Amino acid sequence: MFGAHVVVAMPGSMSRRPIHPLHAVLLAFAFPLFLGALLSDLAYWSTFEIQWANFSSWLIAGGLFATAFALLWALINLFRSRPASRRGFAVYFFALLAMWVLGFVNALVHAKDAWAVMPEGLYLSLVTALLSLVASWIGYSGFRAGDVT
């Protein structure tokens, strides 16, 4: 009479579950390191100061190292997930895999002489940073609670 209260029951499978905290820490390294590599490539492109190319190489190596562990964790979660819910884990895994592969190619490009890095290194750093943003977004958005047994 004075106000109606509506109670909505949400099934447990609809709730989102965050990724494991250690997986979140490993994933947290990817975007800042690859973004830093992109920014240092932009600094090198505008100044041609060779040290910026060295910074990019180290940032890419750090991003690859941390992402390798997050990728391994995502692969394990992909195999542990229920068959009906593997699609979300597969998208996340392949986003991480594409980021790691392009990051590795980017590291090979940055292993060349600093003058030979541009413009391929800049383009690869841009794509790798964007893929790390996408992979982080997917990973931190969570999965449904019943996805991992």
Domain boundaries, the chain: 12-144
Q: What is the pLDDT of residues 19-57, one digit of tens each?
A: 778 888 888 999 999 999 999 999 999 999 999 999 999
Angle between helices 21-47 and 86-110 in degrees, nearest 10 = 30
Reduce the DSSP state of residue 143 to 3 states and report it.
strand
**How confident is the model over 85-108, as pLDDT tens digits?**
677 788 889 999 999 999 999 999
CA 41 – CA 53 distance, rounded (Å):
6
105 near 120, Cβ under 8 Å?
Answer: no
Backbone angles phi, psi at 2, to 5 degrees: -90, -15
